[in-house]
Amino acid sequence: MIVYNVERGWFPMKNDAETHRRALGLKPDANFKLEIKTREELAAFLNGLMGLKAEGPPEEVAPAGAILEPEVAPPEVIERNYIEVPDFVPLFLAQAQAKAAGKEIRWIPQPTTP
């Protein structure tokens, strides 16, 4: 399966992605071609979008059996598809900021003190 990514938009057809890229005034390298050949690649890509990692804070560590490799999209493609928001920011402000930036919200839980 092949899809194309420009900013936060995903397109099944390259010409649609190119039209969107030109409308945004971006350079040709802003259009990323994502080719997924196996279920493992699809799972690794989706886990990357969800922010799951092999190591890190407990809330970001992948559950047992989750596939993180092979990496089918470079980290910059994953990063440009979400924004991180601390949990003390009111939801309406976070949604307004995300909408203005054209990005998805990802909450960062604050550590609790015992």
10 and 37, same domain (yes or no): yes
11 and 52, same domain (yes or no): yes
Contacts with 95 (C-beta within 8 Å, 6 or more apart), sequence order:
105
List b or e across 40-56, with b for residues whose CB sees 16 or more CB atoms inside 10 angstroms: ebebbbebbeebbeeee
Within a 10 A sphere around the Cβ of 6, how many other Cβ atoms? 21
Structural domain span for residue 105: 82-114
Is the distance from CB of 34 to CB of 2 less than 8 angstroms?
yes
Residue 15: what pLDDT?
94
Please state the domain count of the chain: 2
Within a 10 A sphere around the Cβ of 23, how many other Cβ atoms? 9
16 and 44, same domain (yes or no): yes
| Percentage of residues in the chain having pLDDT higher than 90 | 29
As a residue count, the chain comes to 114
Residue 67: what pLDDT?
66
54 and 15, same domain (yes or no): yes
Q: Give me the residues of the chain with pLDDT under 70, please.
A: 53-68, 82-87, 103-114
* CA–CA gap between residue 84 and residue 108 (Å, rounded): 6
